[in-house]
Structure 1
Amino acid sequence: MKRSLRSLSLPLLFLILLACLALRSAVTRCFNYQSNPEDRNIHIDATILSISSHDPADSSLQTDISDLLKASLESFDTIGGKYRTLSLWRRIGSDDSVRPRSLARIRLPIRAQAHYPPERQVLLPLFRHSLATWARYHHAQLPYSIMSELIQRIKRPIEIFNGRGDSSEPYGTCAVVGNSGILLGSNHGGLIDSHEFVIRLNNARVVGYERDVGSKTSLSFVNSNILHLCTRRVGCHCHPYGDNVPIAMYMCQPRHFLDYVVCNSSHKAPLLITDPRFDNLCAQITRYYSLKRFADLTGLSPTRWNETHDPTTFHYSSGFQAVMLAFGICKRVSVFGFGKIKGAKHHYFTNQKAELKLHDYEAEYMTYRDLIKHPEMIPFLSGFRVPPLVFYY
């Protein structure tokens, strides 16, 4: 016979209360938050906002873009015509005795297929056009409307490729699947696959992990370093989820446009590059929260943030930008495989445990917390309605 709550002893009620508090604490530690949302004074700091709007690496990026746009292209075959090396280089100064500076170099296996890789006379103009277009948007003033443009820039080409017509409606439900080791043993596979649109990160392995991570993939979201590795494979093969799964990526380095124009010639599904204004938006938000976290924890001026972070290499994670992309194309967003617990692997499919130093994951977790409870307080998102966001642990 079931006992009523009144009949329970006080010590037993106390133990139940302790267990509930422990469970709540465990969920909080999954994202390793420093405090509860109610305890933190949430406001937009004007000084930090101003600092986070500036990209310390912008001057070197502009120099790289200028050099690449003026570069010459060298193409030659090696190993009996089995491989082709593409090299972008630029001579510095008028002294012919000075060795030209190599700006980008890729070696790709050649397969017996017409128009792959593109001929040299076609490849260089394509490279320059793609890079120049990207650079023009990168230097443009950041409009708050860029989030609303993601339907047109990301969802539209995917839907046209899938033969579903051109719709301005966002997807109903989207799952963003991260790569954290906390996914192991989660049994979230069925729940993930039940979403209308599933985004996976950086070619994470699925086979053998379906029970925890699902098997459905609607979009592979990667950084351009992943694409650079793909050029080493026959036909620039970068499709762990199948040739018909679209790929979206952000450019880590402008020289990777050489990889893009090569791979785009053989890619069946859309190979999409995120708008650099969207990239800048993500960068400014993550810098803001990293600066704020530094000031809150240390009590020091945010101008001393670079004492603990390298401002020239600091960058948002692929996971953060994938979540932001989902906000622009989905009505409801579910997130899986983000966060960490003691002893869990950094990636569920590798033995890596250490985190990359160029990311401030704790600052990103603070951003997610505000996106859930206080989306109106997220800087740089004024006027954009953040859809409902749910994290699964």
Structure 2
Amino acid sequence: MKRSLRPLFSLLLFIVVAATLTCRVMLRRDSFQLENDKPLVQKPTKSVLNATLLKFAAIDMGEPQLKKEMELLLEGRFEKNGRQRSFLSSDRYPIDIRARSARGMPVQLQSPQFYRLWLDFRRYLQDWSRNRRFQSDIMLDLPNLVKGPIDNFSGAKGVGGKYRTCAVVGNSGILLKTENGELIDSHDVVIRLNNARIGSFERNVGSKTSISFVNSNILHFCARRGGCFCHPYGADVPIVMYICQPKHFLDYTLCNSSHRAPLVVTDPRFDVLCSRITKYYSLKRFVEVTGKDIEGWPSAHDGLNFHYSSGMQAVMLAVGICEKVSIFGFGKSDLAKHHYHTNQKGELMLHDYEAEYDFYHDLVETPQVIPFISGKFKFPPVVMYQ
């Protein structure tokens, strides 16, 4: 009886040993697989940014010159040749023209009316200078800073929140290759740039305009017209404007009272944020494309005067005040005009459009890698049509 149990016992012992070895092999394989999968599970949601590029992007090379210019303006020195010349004429343009009030009447430099304008100008410039600093969470304030005044004008007080859908329409000639006019107009808000003409281009660019986004050079030209006329889309269309030169606050001071719709100057903290982001992408592209050190970047991109484009800041504005953003007319093609509505041949050296296209790509695909923006801000979905 005992001999008959031995084969059975041996068989059971073999089964136990085999099962034990199999379990060990399975555990080791699973452990190896988990180790290999570990980086995928712990993949960071935000890419590692280049600290050197971040540091250089935070340096405003034109800051000393800007401060000196503001000091001269606050002293009343509007021009290199003295304040007795028109305070609306620009160093860039040889045309000298008399300043005019909102009613079209000449403003004498020594008149009480000019003195009131002068006091307002000083206040605007001082406030702008005081607030011109970096603030990573400024995007959170854009609905109150921009949408708030526009809603108050339209009678939508207390609405709050953001616009549901927004279309930002750039000025690239690639717009003429598509017929997205109806699609553009279907958005709740349509933002257009620098008074670009829409007449005869409606099939390509639409006809609706909710916000006119301009740089202050545009208003400077508008200020030369009677009544500071600067609203080709209609007198009830709000204008949002960023300041290119501090002296343009004179134009803003003169024209603000004549605009029925709001004329909103972008917050300088928002300007600084846009400047840093654009410079970071420009530095990054320069290093990657040329293989050179970043010390060579200023000479390649007019370091002192380098600036983001109006389109870039308009897109950033939409990202801050809209729940969904669609972008049209950003990009270029050898077969398309630079601007759909002008005969301009080339690009301005003070902009780096290629770097801005890299930014738009990240905005659509991987917004979490965009630097300088607070983690508290939630990016809306962005679609780019080309």
Q: CA deviation at 1:85?
A: 7.1
Unmatched 5+ stretches in structure 1: 1-40, 75-83, 90-103
Matches within 5 A, 1:114-125: 119-125=113-119
Q: Which of 36, 53, 56 does residue 51 from structure 1 map onto?
A: 56
2:320 aligned partner: 328
Is the radius of gyration larger for structure 1 or structure 2?
Answer: 2
Asked whether the equivalents of residues 180 and 339 of structure 1 are also in contact (C-alpha less than 8 Å), the reply is yes
Shift of 1:112: 5.1
Question: For residue 120 of structure 2, what is the amino acid of its counterpart?
Answer: L
Say if 2:318 and 2:325, in contact at 8 Å, map to a contact too: yes
Shift of 1:302: 1.4
Q: Give yes or no for the alignment of 1:129 onto 2:123.
A: yes
Stretch deviating more after TM superposition (251-260 or 372-381): 372-381
Give the root-mean-square deviation of aligned CA atoms: 2.4
1:121 Cα deviation after fit: 2.0
Partner of 1:92: none
In 1, the alpha carbon distance for the partners of 2:157 and 2:311 equals: 28
Percent identity, aligned pairs only, is 54
Match of 1:32 in 2: none
- Give the Cα separation in 2 of the matches to 1:88 and 1:220: 22
SS of equivalent to 2:323: strand
Give the corresponding residue for 1:388: 381
- Mapping of residues 240-255 of structure 1, within 5 Å: 240-255=232-247
Pair 124,42 (structure 1): closer, same or farther in 2 beyond 3 Å? same
Shift in CA distance, 85/71, structure 1 to aligned 2, threshold 3 Å: closer
Question: Is 1:347 matched with 2:352?
Answer: no
Question: Is 1:167 matched with 2:167?
Answer: no
The equivalences for 1:45-194 within 5 A come to 45-71=50-76, 86-87=86-87, 107-108=98-99, 119-138=113-132, 140=133, 142-194=134-186
Is contact 1:115–1:265 with CA below 8 Å preserved after alignment? no
Q: Which moved more, 1:243-252 or 1:160-169?
A: 160-169
The amino acid of 2:153's aligned partner reads: F
Matched residue SS, 2:120: helix
Give the TM-score, by structure 1 length: 0.79
CA distance in 1, matches of 2:296, 2:47: 21
| Contact 1:246-1:271 at 8 Å conserved across structures | yes
Higher strand content, 1 or 2: 1
Partner SS, residue 144 of structure 1? coil
Match for residue 355 of structure 2 among 363, 371, 387? 363
Q: Deviations over 1:229-271 (max 9, x none)?
A: 0011110000100000000110000000000000002111000
**Structure 2 unaligned spans of 5+:** 1-45, 90-94
1:265 match: 257
Shift of the 73–44 alpha-carbon distance from structure 1 to 2, 3 Å rule, reads: closer
Structure 1 stretch 379-388 or stretch 151-160: which is displaced more?
A: 379-388
1:141-198 CA distances to partner (integer Å, 9 max, x unpaired)? Answer: x222200100001001101101111322100000000000011141111000000011
Q: Does 1:295 align with 2:295?
A: no
Shift in CA distance, 56/378, structure 1 to aligned 2, threshold 3 Å: same
So what's the TM-score if we normalise by structure 2?
0.81
Seen in structure 2, the aligned counterparts of structure 1 residues 120 and 211 have a Cα distance that, compared at 3 Å, is same
Q: How many matched pairs? A: 328
- CA distance in structure 1 between the aligned counterparts of 2:163 and 2:157, rounded to whole angstroms: 13
